[in-house]
Structure 1
């Protein structure tokens, strides 16, 4: 009886691992919001690392986070290194490209809680009297990410943070 239960358990774990291995090798998360402000006002709030962290939801998750800025304050080469609690982790985000006032690209390198190397892209497109801001992140899915994705909806988890960040950006940019 014990042998049968053990074999069923091993088979279930093997099937779970095989299923995880078949999951996509990349992931993408994207959220958008229309903000009642011109792109020229929003662009510096994204392109400047210090300004970015005034509304970035991850910077707000740990007030005691260790943080260091290097390189120029804004634009390509601007770097923010961080180490925080379990909600923040340890990593680096750096501006890799900027086309004023329509796009900022960044590289997010995480070392904790899981290693990851992802591209982050903000696009700003005129939308009526405001600007449509899209926050997107994409990158490779390591095996552990594929396995976690079976139990947790990563798009919803990360997407919720992106939505909060866009709300924070809206509140900051729409102040008179």
Structure 2
């Protein structure tokens, strides 16, 4: 019995060393991005993204929990416009526009229950439409758990971004020019 407890102790120490050492070797930043071409001019796409009032029309997370509580703050659009949510499945968080460059770029500060990240929308004219690139950037610093979670972000968030872009494309292309 004593040998079993001693072996268990050494196993726990070994796992802790692997977790900490491995975590320090992982990247301290995560970047995920997806893009799509929307057959609408940059001004129209920009207007949709520069406000959160219609965010849930195309958000990949809204369908998960349409009954979550949403609130809005600040101006209707542009820098300072904000949105917060709280639900059982979508958790608690907020987003606020921190940069708004007409027809080219919007940066959004994200807070997921204390974890910060930045989302950016980059717009570029492409033919008669707009290439929209949606990116997420997280800086994990020395947070080892966040670094481990960062390994899965590409798969988790990438899929959501693809769904969101597809939905945004559908919503926008069904509207008049």
Does TM-score exceed 0.5, indicating one fold?
A: yes
Is the contact made by 1:17 and 1:147 (CA closer than 8 Å) also made in structure 2?
no
Counterpart secondary structure, 2:161:
helix
Structure 1 residue 5 displacement after superposition: 4.6
- 5+ long unaligned stretches in structure 2: none
Q: Which stretches of structure 1, 4 residues or longer, exceed 6 Å deviation after superposition?
A: none
* TM-score of the pair, normalised by structure 1: 0.89
- Pairs within 5 Å for 1:1-176: 1-2=3-4, 3-86=6-89, 88-111=90-113, 115-141=114-140, 142-149=143-150, 153-175=152-174, 176=176
* TM-score of the pair, normalised by structure 2: 0.88
Structure 1 residue 148 displacement after superposition: 3.0
**Distance in structure 1 (CA, Å) of the matches to 2:150 and 2:100:** 32
Count how many residue pairs are aligned between Structure 1 and Structure 2.
170
Is the contact made by 1:32 and 1:133 (CA closer than 8 Å) also made in structure 2?
yes
Structure 1 residue 126 displacement after superposition: 0.9
**Distance in structure 2 (CA, Å) of the matches to 1:127 and 1:134:** 12
**Distance in structure 1 (CA, Å) of the matches to 2:46 and 2:55:** 10
Is the contact made by 1:65 and 1:85 (CA closer than 8 Å) also made in structure 2?
yes
> Root-mean-square deviation (CA), in Å?
1.6
